[in-house]
A and B are shown apart, each in its own frame.
Chain A
């Protein structure tokens, strides 16, 4: 059973698509930035991998914000 935590309604329902795109391309982008800055490949890869967590953090923040707004409006 799928949890309905409000993620599907973010960004007018487009968040699920945007998240997939970000999760695929953000690490590559971050890796390329650090690689271009001549940072060691392994360190670049670790930072690139960690950048995915930013998406999850952002998602949780937005859901929390939306829930608080909904509570205030009640």
Chain B
């Protein structure tokens, strides 16, 4: 009894045809590859830690490599789905054309799902770069007093986080003491040009 006959018997398929052998191969090797990859991803940190300790090295699986492995995993999942769906359809309907067709659809669907998953993962990445222009119009308070014609520091919320940034008064002869409420009216490079909130309200009233 041959290898494929043994596997075919185990799956309840007697004397598998060429198409059934293709399905068995895809399901078998796709599953082995998929689950091996999954296991490697899960135990990767433990294994990496062991290697680091045993050989005094610094091995890490960076995001690019993980991303590529994940794509390979998607392909393995697609092959596995092709084989499993094909086997299911061929045993249920006995129509090989339909089995190949539905296997292909299942493979494409699983790959599409992986694509969505990958997009979801990449959307989780946050860009920590602060744009100073986002501080325009932000309100906050003086952290380190701004002396006439000199630089001080202000605390303002930029992109959802509180930051302490260098600032100058719009009126170069004005002194803004610590704790005074201010508004950012202009941004020049990395320096914020600020104005007292009370002063602005007065201007608006005039």
A11-B115, A14-B118, A21-B111 as given contacts; A35 in contact with B104, CB under 8 Å: no
Tally of B interface residues using CB under 8 Å: 18
B50 interface residue per 8 A CB criterion: no
Count CB-based A-B contacts (< 8 Å). 33
Contact B101 A33 (CB under 8 A): yes
Chain B positions within 8 Å of A36 at CB level: 19, 96-97, 99-100
A12-B119, A35-B18 as given contacts; A18 in contact with B100, CB under 8 Å: no
> Residue of B at shortest CB range from A21?
B75
Instruction: Give the contacting residue for A29; candidates B100, B111, B118; CB below 8 A.
Output: B100
Q: How far is the CA of A64 from the CA of B170 in the complex (A)?
A: 51
Chain A positions within 8 Å of B71 at CB level: 17
A9-42 with Cβ < 8 A to chain B:
11-12, 14, 17-18, 21, 25, 29, 32-33, 35-37
**Nearest Cβ in chain B — how far from A39, in angstroms?**
10
B184 interface residue per 8 A CB criterion: no
Tally of A interface residues using CB under 8 Å: 13
B78 interface residue per 8 A CB criterion: yes
Contact B101 A25 (CB under 8 A): no
Give 1 or 0 for each of B83-114: 1 = CB within 8 Å of chain A CB: 00000000000001101110110010001000
Chain A positions within 8 Å of B99 at CB level: 36
- Chain B binding surface, main DSSP class: helix
Chain A positions within 8 Å of B115 at CB level: 11, 14, 18
Contact A21 B97 (CB under 8 A): no
**Nearest Cβ in chain A — how far from B74, in angstroms?**
8
Chain B positions within 8 Å of A14 at CB level: 115, 118-119
B136 interface residue per 8 A CB criterion: no
Q: How far is the CA of A37 from the CA of B75 in the complex (A)?
A: 26
A interface residues, Cβ below 8 angstroms from B: 11-12, 14, 17-18, 21, 25, 29, 32-33, 35-37
Shortest Cβ-Cβ A-B pairs, 3 listed: A36-B96, A32-B100, A36-B97
6 of the cross-chain contacts (CB-CB < 8 Å) are: A14-B118, A29-B100, A29-B107, A36-B19, A36-B97, A37-B97
List 15 additional contacts besides A36-B99, A37-B96; criterion CB under 8 Å. A14-B115, A14-B119, A17-B71, A18-B111, A18-B115, A21-B78, A25-B107, A29-B100, A29-B103, A29-B104, A29-B107, A32-B22, A33-B97, A33-B100, A33-B101
